[in-house]
Amino acid sequence: MAVAKRPYVPRLNGGGNFCGHRPDVPRLELVKPTTNKNRPKILTELQSRIRQYYRAPRYIPSLNSANGSKRQQRSERREACLLMQIAILEYTDLASLRCGVPTAAGFMSLTLDYLVQYTGLGMRRAERAIADLKKANVISVSQARQLNEDGSWRGLPAVKAVSPLLFAIFGFAERLVHERERATKRLAKKAAKAGGTLTSWARNALVIKKRDKHQRRREEKKMPSGIDPDTYQRIRTDLLIALKQTYPDMPADEVNAEANRIIITRFRA
Residues paired with 159 in a beta bridge = 142
Rounded Cα distance between 212 and 260, Å, is: 18
Each domain of the chain, given as residue ranges in start order, spans 15-181
State residue 22's pLDDT score. Answer: 76
State residue 253's pLDDT score. Answer: 72
Summarize pLDDT for 35-71 with one digit per residue, the tens: 767 789 999 999 999 999 999 999 999 999 988 878 8
Spacing of C-alpha 86 from chain mean position: 13
Element (H, E) at 237: helix 229-246
Q: What is the DSSP string of 24-53?
A: TS---S-SS--S-----HHHHHHHHHHTHH
Rounded Cα distance between 186 and 95, Å, is: 9
What's the whole-model pTM score?
0.63
Element (H, E) at 101: strand 98-103
Summarize pLDDT for 231-254 with one digit per residue, the tens: 666 666 667 666 666 666 677 677
State residue 151's pLDDT score. Answer: 63
- Which residues of the chain are modeled with pLDDT < 50? 11-14, 197-216, 269
State residue 221's pLDDT score. Answer: 54
Q: How far apart are the first and last CA of the chain?
A: 63
State residue 232's pLDDT score. Answer: 66
